[in-house]
């Protein structure tokens, strides 16, 4: 196996469950603390260009100048987050991205939204292991305030997630979902 295939972050991208006994598990914490250092700087910045620049460093991508982020924003890793153009991220959002988060163009994310691509096994003896699955938010979706999107979920194009919802299953294009767990309310 090549060094890249052994890398814990590449294994996470492939959806591998990481045991708490994994000999590279410590690298996830190290990376999170490195990200936190940049987050402190970003969350104290007031200039939109500086915020985008720091977010570019956190995500290791180019954040387009059409993206607006109202800080604070909390990300535990960053390098598995991809953000499209003309995206608006409001205050106090949380992105746990070890499983991958993709936000396509023209997405609106309201305050206090949590995108959680990570979870843990139900079995108590395995609970400290990490399960991951990517989150995809398609073009022109709107995620309402205080909504939570769980691992492995795709939010469809033009879809709306009502405020306070917990989304555990894929949301079809052109629908409005709401509730806990979120269910289709109506089609757009």
> 81-83 and 88-89: which strand pairing?
unpaired
Q: What would the pLDDT profile of 133-174 be if each residue is shown by its tens digit?
A: 999 999 999 999 999 999 999 999 999 999 999 999 999 999
First to last CA, the chain: 48
> How much is the pTM?
0.95
Element (H, E) at 28: helix 25-43
Q: Pick the catalytic residue: 37, 120, 183, 186?
A: 120
CATH number at residue 121: 2.160.10.10
80 classed as catalytic: no
Q: What would the pLDDT profile of 90-112 be if each residue is shown by its tens digit?
A: 999 999 999 999 999 999 999 99
Q: How many CB atoms lie within 10 A of CB 6?
A: 11
Domain hosting 165: range is 3-187
- Nearest CA-CA partner of 160 in 180, 140, 133: 140
**Beta bridge partners of residue 68, listed in sequence order:** 88
Query: Based on the structure, what is the number of domains in the chain?
Result: 1
């Amino acid at each position: 196996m090549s060094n890249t295939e052994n890398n814990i972050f590449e294994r996470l991208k492939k959806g591998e469950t990481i045991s708490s006994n994994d000999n590279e598990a410590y690298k996830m914490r190290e990376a999170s603390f490195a990200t936190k250092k940049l987050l402190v700087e970003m969350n104290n910045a007031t200039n939109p260009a500086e915020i985008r620049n720091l977010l570019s460093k956190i995500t290791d991508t180019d954040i387009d100048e059409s993206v607006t982020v109202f800080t604070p924003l909390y990300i535990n890793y960053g390098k598995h987050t991809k953000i499209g153009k003309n995206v608006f991220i409001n205050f106090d959002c949380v992105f746990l991205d070890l499983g991958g988060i993709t936000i396509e163009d023209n997405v609106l994310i309201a305050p206090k939204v949590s995108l959680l691509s990570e979870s843990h096994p139900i079995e108590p003896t395995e609970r400290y292991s990490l399960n991951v699955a990517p989150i995809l938010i398609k073009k022109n979706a709107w995620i309402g305030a205080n909504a939570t999107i769980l691992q492995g979920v795709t939010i469809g194009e033009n879809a709306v997630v009502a405020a306070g919802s917990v989304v555990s299953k894929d949301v079809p294009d052109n629908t409005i979902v709401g509730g806990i767990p979120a269910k289709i309310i109506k089609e757009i």
